[in-house]
Structure 1
Amino acid sequence: MELSSLFLAGKGSALTSFFSTAFLVVFLPFCLVVYSLMPRRGKKYFLLAADCAFFWLISGKLLVYLLPTALSMHYFGLWLDKIQSETKLLLAQTEKAERKTVRKRQQAVQHRILLLAVILHIGVLFALKYSGFAATNVNTLLAHLHIPVQLVIPKYVMPIGISFFTLQALSYIVDVQRGVTKADTNLLRLTLFISFFPQIVEGPICRYDQTAQQLWDAKPITY
């Protein structure tokens, strides 16, 4: 087997299993060696580059789905953080008797932002994974009812790991809305958080406050 055949962009199915030769013998050892040799300040950037390379190898140009997800969670987090800061300022300037009303109004704004984020991310996930299935069933029903209408069945190509990184992005947005974590202004750290290659294919779905900073700190490997 030629080494290049293991890493053909868009056809890197061998890498989707962590027990494959491509992953255990080539990709993972390469990353460990380079990471170990990399200066401390460059380790996190190498991790991010390795994540993007891994995703490109298994999904090719479908990498474009991952990057907008990172941008979306970044800006939704900043939007929620802005509303929370405004809420604190308004409460400080409001009479005690009216604070409950102000707090309730601002919470409603946050809930609408969160709902928009959920609709956007889950909507894309649903469209990619289930729109074809839904259209096929609707066509079957229409045929049984003798209605001469047939929906066009969409055929989307789905990036591997989309369920994991979509739900992980949403978990971050929910945590920001609930005040569990502070909105991150560092887009690269957020991208590293949702694209970390050891978990993007098979999970688990990680919490931002438990993993993001550890990844960004990129400590040396100890044996």
Structure 2
Amino acid sequence: MIFKTKLLFPLLLLIFSISVSCDKEEDEISGCTDSLSYNYNPSAVSDNGTCEYYYGGREKGQIDVGAIVDLNNEYNIYIDGEYIGRLTYYFPNGLECGNPDAVGRIFDSGSHVIRAEGNGGSEIREGLVVLDPQECLVVLVENLPIIGNNKGDVKFWVNQDYGCGLITVNLNGVGSSTISGYYNGSPDCIVDGVGGNFNDLLPGIYNYSASCQGYNWNGSVTITQNGCFKLQLVL
């Protein structure tokens, strides 16, 4: 009787061990273990390769550009130097990611440069954003810093009193300005104390004429983006 008991105990232990092992295998859940996946299974112990993602891949996301403030302008939107689309109106009730009327696209996660150029280069806004994997990021134009515009300036000036009275400068297609004094040295374009200023001009070549009693000047000036052309009228 003792002999039979000794044989029976190891046999029962083996059966119990096999049973526990089978129960563990039955209880183990496999599935998607990546929390970035939209079919992520928090109960899964092992990954079975079934993870799926929005935006066409794990390391991708979407950037939507819009405005909730009326900036009285329309903007061409560029992301990393590539033209994405034109923003023609704003969203006073707020802008949620995925709005089909926003200007947006899918991008790889990481840093991206957003640039908004207003009509005729009247205003340029630019900023850097960071897109996380599987993120839908809303960028508001009004939050982008203004860095300048596509226009330029020209200032006509003299360094002495020519004794001919006021000097009238005409810039073809723009208008006229009157020089009423002189500078001892080259002035800044933003100084408008004695006239001769033409500001916010689109880049290009402009013909000019200037005159006072007994003197005349003629020629052309080249306006560059964000540039300041200073032209001294000399005898």
Common topology (TM > 0.5): no
Q: Which has the larger radius of gyration?
A: 2
- More relative contact order, 1 or 2 (CA 8 Å, 6+ apart): 1
Q: Which has the higher helix share?
A: 1
Q: Which has the higher strand share?
A: 2
